[in-house]
Amino acid sequence: MKFERDLKRSDFPFLGFGVGLRREHYSHVLETHPEIDWFEILSENFMVAGGRPLEVLDAVRDRYPIAMHGVSMSIGSADALNRDYLRQLKALARRIEPAWISDHLCWTGVDGRNLHDLLPLPYTAETVRHVVSRIRTVQDFLERPIVIENVSSYLAFRASTMTEWEFLATIADEADCGILLDINNIFVSAFNHRFDAIAYIDAIPIDRVVQFHLAGHADHGTYLLDTHDHPVRDEVWALYEHAVKRFGPVSALIEWDDNIPPFEVLIETANRARDIHRRALAVQHDAA
């Protein structure tokens, strides 16, 4: 079944400021119902027939909005789309009714091998056609639009004929899907490839952006590595403020996947995003 096209951000709810649901915090979340606006789950962790993960998820879903975030769609790969994976993804979405489903603008393997890495694509017209056609197939199968995220990268293809932001914006427009803009990934890739992060943000179509990611990275001197194991850096907060001024009210999510801190630290970080968001939009109102 084909769904109605011409996606707008207003098709998606504004969820506020959330954090990733991680195993380390299951008990805390279930027992104390902390004050957080929403959770993002890693879809693959819950694509199972039953057991504790799904019990936890159902209980969390009873109290909080949830978005599903995947790492295995491999939308850019030359392999055929994995129909079993898509069937399981659709079944999970039926169960928890997420605010949206996202995955990455990347490939994670080829010839049936999963490399468990989010690998960048060559930015060419041919890749655009390939990825757009696959996103449309996935959206028709899932009967809903999907949201694609920019990945961080450490190499570039000589074959590329456009910038990363032209590539992302063109694919989102032609596939009619949403964008999850990872502010930290833009910062990391801008440093690694020496491009202007502000120019990237300013080139992304406003009505396509339905979510931001904020995360910490590791600084290796000559390059930055997207590790999700540090606090968000001040420069990334500054970039986030710029993004809020451009895109307006967009749901934001703190990603922290390693060296996971106590839940209170995640709440403080989500609240810092809330404060910056309020300040950025209040300044805009004052200026209007």
**Chain residues in the site for Fe ion (CB under 5 A):** 182, 213
> Which residue lies nearer to Fe ion by CB, 213 or 217?
213
> Which residue lies nearer to Fe ion by CB, 19 or 54?
19
Query: In whole angstroms, what is the distance from residue 14 CA to residue 5 CA?
Result: 20
Q: Least distance in Å: CB of 125 to Fe ion?
A: 26
- Only one residue has tokens 């990611």, namely 213
Q: Least distance in Å: CB of 229 to Fe ion?
A: 13
Q: What is the DSSP letter of 213?
A: E
Query: In whole angstroms, what is the distance from residue 244 CA to residue 252 CA?
Result: 10
Query: In whole angstroms, what is the distance from residue 55 CA to residue 73 CA?
Result: 24
Q: Least distance in Å: CB of 178 to Fe ion?
A: 14
Report residue 218 CA to chain centroid gap: 19
> Which residue lies nearer to Fe ion by CB, 115 or 125?
115
Residue nearest to Fe ion (CB): 213
> Which residue lies nearer to Fe ion by CB, 164 or 182?
182
> Which residue lies nearer to Fe ion by CB, 103 or 182?
182
Q: Least distance in Å: CB of 181 to Fe ion?
A: 9
Q: Least distance in Å: CB of 127 to Fe ion?
A: 21
What's the distance, Cα to Cα, between the start and end of the chain in Å?
44
Q: Least distance in Å: CB of 129 to Fe ion?
A: 25
CA atoms within 13 A on the CB side of 130: 19
Phi, psi of 205 (to 5 degrees): -65, 130
Q: Least distance in Å: CB of 142 to Fe ion?
A: 20
Query: In whole angstroms, what is the distance from residue 1 CA to residue 140 CA?
Result: 6
> Which residue lies nearer to Fe ion by CB, 88 or 227?
227
> Which residue lies nearer to Fe ion by CB, 22 or 78?
22
Do residues 201 and 182 lie in contact, with contact meaning Cβ atoms separated by under 8 Å? no
> In this structure, which long-range contacts are made by residues 235-239, counting pairs with CB atoms below 8 Å and at least 24 apart in sequence?
235/187, 236/183, 236/184, 236/187, 237/272, 237/276, 239/183, 239/186, 239/187, 239/197, 239/198, 239/201
